[in-house]
Structure 1
């Protein structure tokens, strides 16, 4: 399992090692519920197509590999349950499962979260990472070594699309926002979740970061400042924000008058997770579940 944003030779090597170790391989494509962003520019179906093409070019038995989307939950326990459920659906209850991967940093800590599964360890390839590929995609740079030809071809075509142009603007805005942050101060934001009848109140972002996406109405607070009014609903997963880790304090009820929002049919909003900024769809579904309970 991984984000594969985008795939590179180290990913292909891990899948080929898995094919040598087992008759069937399941690849879970993470962040499948999130909108395109500089962190996750490529949809799950697009990543699956790239991986299939690159594996086929490498002579791998692609018919033994299944690709399935995996949502980001920003909650370790829920995410682990999703992974286990996906494995059970694919391999069957009680089937022996081995987890394939290598440990390199905090991004691979999840390998320790499945103690009941066997492990197939793949040697770490230093210097090869998807971040460099994304930078090349957004800046027009050369593809780094280790980019499969099939992936290069897809990325070259994607570079010419409107979504890629928007992501290029977003990348520059994110870099500028990071550079402007004072070091060492925690970041907080306030959001409001207002659901009335069959509608939820949302705003459309008009900002280079997340332009055109739905968000819960709210505002970022100055670095180091926290909300004046307490709320028990705080979302602070370190990976939830694009610019820098920031805690979202979510109030239940109508937003202030200076934060205009419009009603969106709740069913429409729930059915379109990839139309939301950052983790706002996850926040919406989590708090709706709490209300029902």
Structure 2
């Protein structure tokens, strides 16, 4: 029996099946079925944007499986220089590169991320695939499934959690290929000489270029420039810089404290209070300092310190577009005090506000902060 789809994904799955169910009725039209090793090949990726290496992987995948299930990550994140295009925009771009006979053998589905909990992510991916196999009128126990991740971080998660689905002998895109493509897009938008034709299919270019004149792309272009300026300051360091930051997770009565960022990167997004470690302070001291600077929380330091329950390191190599950034998150649980302490935005924060857990939306949070909350306080 297929595993139930986790509640955090039901709305996405329901929306997709209402509006695009026809595309997920996979029909094999391969003549020599016996030459194929797999019934399904599951391909994980972000496809930000779909590029020539993705097309190569899909073309080779169609040679070793009757049907492909392409799972798109980053489906419910805010637009950023790492994730500029929405799920529907990326699907449209990728579909434009497919021949009609190939399109009939490919199903494209949303797959929400769970960056720091690989087993939960793998369980969710298994549920999506099982539901699709069942929709095709087949049983999981009767089909052969393989998997392939198109990004090194996704491949690492898949190795940890999806060992039942063996990898296939297809070379994935090289590390940072997608990052390089996005950099080329922003350089072209800024009047650079980069040639997108080297990276992207001619079928993708019209849809992609149509986004370059939008207001949201202009905002991301400003963020890209700010990040580039940040990296430029470290360009002549004797070794690649590794930045250390801290983040405060303060909870009370099923509410979490968030701040709205006042400038790039992530201008306008909500985030955990936090910032960079100063040279002569401890991690926990930096976390408390940043918390008071950005929220002016009205609580005694002794009470705050006594409420610290947990700390954890979050070090995904691509968690920040600013470069390699490792953050240390501290959980402060204020318990069931009658009223949440008063807060006011300050320093890098435009606003500070208490959010009920159920109102925290992945699509409103900066970088991987929703994933940190998933790990630290159990958000779905």
Structure 1 residue 157: deviation in Å?
0.7
Q: Look up the match of 1:261.
A: 352
Distance in 1 between residues matched to 2:363 and 2:220, nearest whole Å: 15
Contact 1:35–1:276 at 8 Å: present in 2 too? Answer: yes
Q: TM-score, normalised by structure 1?
A: 0.82
Q: Look up the match of 2:262.
A: 206
Q: Look up the match of 2:113.
A: 72
Q: Look up the match of 2:216.
A: 163
Distance in 2 between residues matched to 1:78 and 1:277, nearest whole Å: 21
- The match for 1:187 among 243, 266, 278 is 243
**What is the SS of the residue equivalent to 1:68?**
strand
Structure 1 residue 226: deviation in Å?
4.0
Contact 2:245–2:325 at 8 Å: present in 1 too? Answer: no
State how 1:34-183 maps to structure 2 within 5 Å: 34-55=77-98, 58-75=99-116, 76-92=118-134, 93-94=140-141, 95-100=143-148, 108-109=155-156, 112-113=159-160, 114-123=162-171, 129-140=177-188, 141-181=194-234, 183=239
Distance in 1 between residues matched to 2:282 and 2:313, nearest whole Å: 13
Contact 1:236–1:247 at 8 Å: present in 2 too? Answer: yes
**Does 2:367 align with 1:278?**
yes
Q: Look up the match of 1:237.
A: 315
Structure 1 residue 177: deviation in Å?
1.6
**What is the SS of the residue equivalent to 1:250?**
strand
Distance in 2 between residues matched to 1:9 and 1:28, nearest whole Å: 18
> Using a 3 Å threshold, how does the CA distance of structure 1 residues 142 and 109 change in structure 2: closer, same or farther?
same
> Using a 3 Å threshold, how does the CA distance of structure 1 residues 251 and 120 change in structure 2: closer, same or farther?
closer
Of stretches 34-43 and 257-266 in structure 1, the one that deviates more from structure 2 is 257-266
**Does 2:86 align with 1:30?**
no
Structure ID, larger Rg: 2
Structure 1 residue 60: deviation in Å?
4.1
**What is the SS of the residue equivalent to 1:193?**
strand
Distance in 2 between residues matched to 1:235 and 1:49, nearest whole Å: 37
**Does 2:329 align with 1:249?**
yes
Distance in 1 between residues matched to 2:320 and 2:175, nearest whole Å: 25
Distance in 1 between residues matched to 2:85 and 2:63, nearest whole Å: 28
Structure 1 residue 72: deviation in Å?
2.5
Distance in 2 between residues matched to 1:185 and 1:91, nearest whole Å: 45
Structure 1 residue 125: deviation in Å?
6.8
Structure 1 gap segments, 5+ residues each: none
Q: Look up the match of 1:221.
A: 277
**What is the SS of the residue equivalent to 1:149?**
coil
**What is the SS of the residue equivalent to 1:17?**
helix
Distance in 2 between residues matched to 1:255 and 1:280, nearest whole Å: 22
Distance in 2 between residues matched to 1:151 and 1:17, nearest whole Å: 19
**What is the SS of the residue equivalent to 2:310?**
coil
Distance in 1 between residues matched to 2:240 and 2:281, nearest whole Å: 13
Distance in 1 between residues matched to 2:153 and 2:370, nearest whole Å: 25
Number of residues paired by the alignment? 286
Structure 1 residue 215: deviation in Å?
0.4
Contact 1:203–1:262 at 8 Å: present in 2 too? Answer: yes
Structure 1 residue 107: deviation in Å?
6.6
> Using a 3 Å threshold, how does the CA distance of structure 1 residues 74 and 125 change in structure 2: closer, same or farther?
closer
